[in-house]
Amino acid sequence: MAAKTLRSPLVIFCVILFSAFIMLAIGIAILGNTLINWWATLPIALLPAISTAIPFQSRWRTLSGFSNPIANAATHIFVAGSLIFFLFLGLNYWGADKSTAHVEHTTIIDKHSKEHTRYRRVGRNRRVPDGKYNTWHLTLEFADGRQKDTEVTATTYRRSRIGNHRDITLQRGLFSIPVIKNR
């Protein structure tokens, strides 16, 4: 009986997909600290990814083993879009100019909590509901009319009232998009 050999292109493909998911998750986390609408980042990430999908389609065929060109193009759009999304928001956040830090006075226009289900493991591949937990959110309005939903601690939530003011430290990002550095 012949021993099975591990296909190294398939392993590389899985590592690339896993890395794309990680970059997408980090980009979404950074988006929470950036004053930009989520839909404004879509063209920035997707236009280069879509425009390079056809030229790089054959390279994905060797890595993924898919012979379907649509699957290879979709893989390229996901991986390249995640990379560009992460790089755009990450460079803007980590390249923020500390000398432009200023305090912005915001108004609390809404406060709400979200209830989530907590799960616990009861077996190797089995999870069951184990109660509820809440996350606390404030919707802040800036002087120029922009709004930002922020997650806060329960103590901050209890002390906050609609109409009160909250100070937030902003810095100018590398691409001139404001970044929240201190909530």
Q: Which is more confident, 4 or 158?
A: 158
> What predicted TM-score, i.e. pTM, was given to this entire model?
0.82
Using alpha carbons, list the distances in angstroms from residue 174 to 27, 84, 92, 158: 15, 15, 4, 35
| Lowest mean pLDDT across 34-48, 52-66, 87-101, 111-125 | 52-66
What was the pLDDT predicted at 66? 79
Catalogue the E-assigned strands of the chain: 97-123, 126-141, 147-152, 165-172, 178-182
Mean pLDDT of the chain: 90
Task: Label residue 127 by pLDDT band (50, 70, 90).
Answer: very high
Q: What is the pLDDT of residues 71-120, one digit of tens each?
A: 889 999 999 999 999 999 999 999 999 999 999 999 999 999 999 999 99
**What residues does 140 pair with on adjacent strands?**
108, 148
Domain 98-182: which CATH class?
A: mainly beta
| Distance, CA of 59 to CA of 166 (rounded, Å) | 51
3-state secondary structure at position 98:
strand
Which percentage of the chain shows pLDDT scores above 90? 74
CATH 2.40.50.660 residue ranges of the chain are: 98-182
Between 67-76, 113-122, 130-139, 168-177, the lowest mean confidence (pLDDT) is in 67-76
Instruction: Pull the structure tokens for residue 182.
Output: 């201190």
Q: Is the pLDDT of residue 1 over 50?
A: no
- For the segment 149-167, the average pLDDT, to the nearest whole number, is 94
pLDDT of residue 179: 94
pLDDT score of 12 more than 70: yes
